[in-house]
Structure 1
Amino acid sequence: MRIVIATEAQFHRTEDGRVLAPDSALGYAAWVHYLGVFDQILIAARVTRRSAQGAAGLPVEGPGVRVLPLPAYQGIGGYLRRRGALSAAVRQAVAEHRGTAADTTAFLALVPGLVGTALTRELNRQGLPFGLEVVGDVAEVLADRRIVSAAAGRMLARQCQQARAVSYVTRTVLQGRYPARADVPTVSCPRVRLEEEDFVAGSRPAPDGWGAVGARHPHPARTVRLLTIGSQERTYKGHDVLVDAVALMRSEGLRPEVTIVGDGRHHDEIVRRAAAHGLGDTVRFVRRLGSRPEVRAALDATDVFVLPSRTEGLPRVLVEAAARALPAVASAVGGVVEILPPRDLVPPDQPRRLAESLTDLIASPDRYAAASERNLATAREYSLDRLRPIRLSFHRTLREITVSADGSDATGRHSHAPAGSLAGPGR
Structure 2
Amino acid sequence: MKFLFIHDHKFPKLKDEYFCSYGFDDKFCDRYIQNFENFRIMACHTKAKGNEKKFSNKVKENISFVTFSSIKDILKRKTRKKIEDEINQSECLIVRLPSFIGLMSLKYIKKLNKPYLIEMVGCPWDALWNHSRVGKFVAPIMYLLCKNVIKEAPYVVYVTNEFLQNRYPTKGKSISCSNVILPENDENVLQQRLNKIRNEKYDKKIIIGTCATAGSRYKGQQNVIRALKILKNKGYEVEYQLVGGGDTSYLKSIAKKYDSYENVKFMGVLAHNEVFEWLDTIDIYVQPSLTEGLPRALVEALNRGCPAIGSDAGGIPELLGKENIYKRKSYKEFADVFEKANINKEELAIRNFEKAKEYEKNKLEARRSEFFNKFK
Task: Normalising by structure 2, report the TM-score.
Answer: 0.90
Inter-CA distance 260–326: structure 2 relative to 1 (3 Å threshold): same
- In the aligned structure 2, how far is the partner of 1:5 from the partner of 1:198? 33
Which residue in 2 is equivalent to 1:412?
A: none
Which residue in 1 is equivalent to 2:360?
A: 383
Large movers: runs of 4+ above 6 Å: 51-54
Which residue in 2 is equivalent to 1:283?
A: 264
Which residue in 2 is equivalent to 1:252?
A: 234
Which residue in 2 is equivalent to 1:325?
A: 305
Letter of the structure 1 residue corresponding to residue 349 of structure 2: S
Letter of the structure 2 residue corresponding to residue 84 of structure 1: L
The question of 1:153 aligning with 2:143 is answered: yes
Q: Contact conserved, 1:108 with 1:133, CA < 8 A, in 2?
A: yes
Higher helix proportion, which one?
Answer: 2
- In the aligned structure 2, how far is the partner of 1:34 from the partner of 1:255? 46
Letter of the structure 2 residue corresponding to residue 349 of structure 1: K
- In the aligned structure 2, how far is the partner of 1:18 from the partner of 1:233? 26
Q: Contact conserved, 1:14 with 1:50, CA < 8 A, in 2?
A: yes
Which residue in 1 is equivalent to 2:221?
A: 239
- In the aligned structure 1, how far is the partner of 2:252 from the partner of 2:186? 30
Structure 1, residues 149-169: CA drift from partner, whole Å, max 9, x if none?
332221111111232210000
Q: Contact conserved, 1:90 with 1:122, CA < 8 A, in 2?
A: no
Which residue in 2 is equivalent to 1:168?
A: 158
Q: Gapped runs of 5+ residues in structure 1?
A: 74-78, 211-218, 400-427
Q: Gapped runs of 5+ residues in structure 2?
A: none
How many residues get paired?
370
Inter-CA distance 200–3: structure 2 relative to 1 (3 Å threshold): farther
Q: 1:176, CA displacement in angstroms?
A: 1.3
Which residue in 1 is equivalent to 2:334?
A: 354
Query: What root-mean-square deviation, in Å, do the aligned CA atoms of Structure 1 and Structure 2 show?
Result: 2.4
Inter-CA distance 54–116: structure 2 relative to 1 (3 Å threshold): closer
SS at match of 2:266: strand
Q: 1:324, CA displacement in angstroms?
A: 0.6
Letter of the structure 2 residue corresponding to residue 18 of structure 1: E
The question of 1:119 aligning with 2:105 is answered: yes
Query: Which of 64, 75, 86 lines up with 1:84 in the alignment?
Result: 75
Which residue in 1 is equivalent to 2:18?
A: 19
Q: 1:130, CA displacement in angstroms?
A: 1.6
SS at match of 1:376: helix
- What are the within-5 Å matches in structure 2 for residues 12-411 of structure 1? 12-15=12-15, 17-21=16-20, 23-50=21-48, 56-73=54-71, 79=72, 82-85=73-76, 88-89=78-79, 91-96=81-86, 98-99=88-89, 105-144=91-130, 148-181=138-171, 184-196=172-184, 200-202=188-190, 204-205=193-194, 207-208=197-198, 220-264=202-246, 266-291=247-272, 293-362=273-342, 364=343, 367-399=344-376
Q: 1:233, CA displacement in angstroms?
A: 4.5
Task: Normalising by structure 1, report the TM-score.
Answer: 0.80
Larger RCO: 1 or 2 (CA < 8 Å, sep 6+): 1
- In the aligned structure 2, how far is the partner of 1:51 from the partner of 1:142? 26
Inter-CA distance 90–372: structure 2 relative to 1 (3 Å threshold): farther
- In the aligned structure 1, how far is the partner of 2:341 from the partner of 2:305? 15
Which residue in 1 is equivalent to 2:9?
A: 9
- In the aligned structure 1, how far is the partner of 2:254 from the partner of 2:136? 27
- In the aligned structure 2, how far is the partner of 1:304 from the partner of 1:220? 15
- In the aligned structure 2, how far is the partner of 1:326 from the partner of 1:112? 30
Identity of aligned residues (%): 22
